[in-house]
Amino acid sequence: MKDSIVYNKAYSFAIRIVKAFQFLQTEKKEFILSKQLLCSGTSIGANIAEAIGAISKRDFSSKISIAYKESLETKYWLSLLKDTDYINETSFLSMHTEVDEISKILFSI
């Protein structure tokens, strides 16, 4: 999987999401939205990993579609966290830009 650009990007993004989750839980004492972000943000890469191991074109397409939808959900949670002042504009833009790039790659697949 190391040769898959989208997998590598999603994996790196998942690490950022885990760190953001830890920050939100420990520093901001936010437990609900951060959990949603953790689930959707790490699910992107997990579904790409499943797509790489797909047993058919239909299975591959299904997993990539789920990964794409998870990326859209992640953008939603990031926006909500920004608009409720749990994350600042700089953090939001950085993570949103990264997941938007992943979304575009997934959509093109």
pLDDT in tens, 45-103: 999 999 999 999 999 999 999 999 999 999 999 999 999 999 999 999 999 999 999 99
- Stretch 16-20: mean pLDDT, rounded? 98
Q: Is the pTM of this model over 0.85?
A: yes
42's CB contacts (< 8 A; 6+ apart) are 14, 17, 18
- Confidence at residue 3, expressed as pLDDT on a 0 to 100 scale: 81
Cα 1 off chain centre by: 18
- Can you give the pLDDT at residue 2? 63
Q: What residue segments make up the domains of the chain, in order of their start?
A: 5-108
Question: What CATH number has the domain spanning 5-108?
Answer: 1.20.1440.60
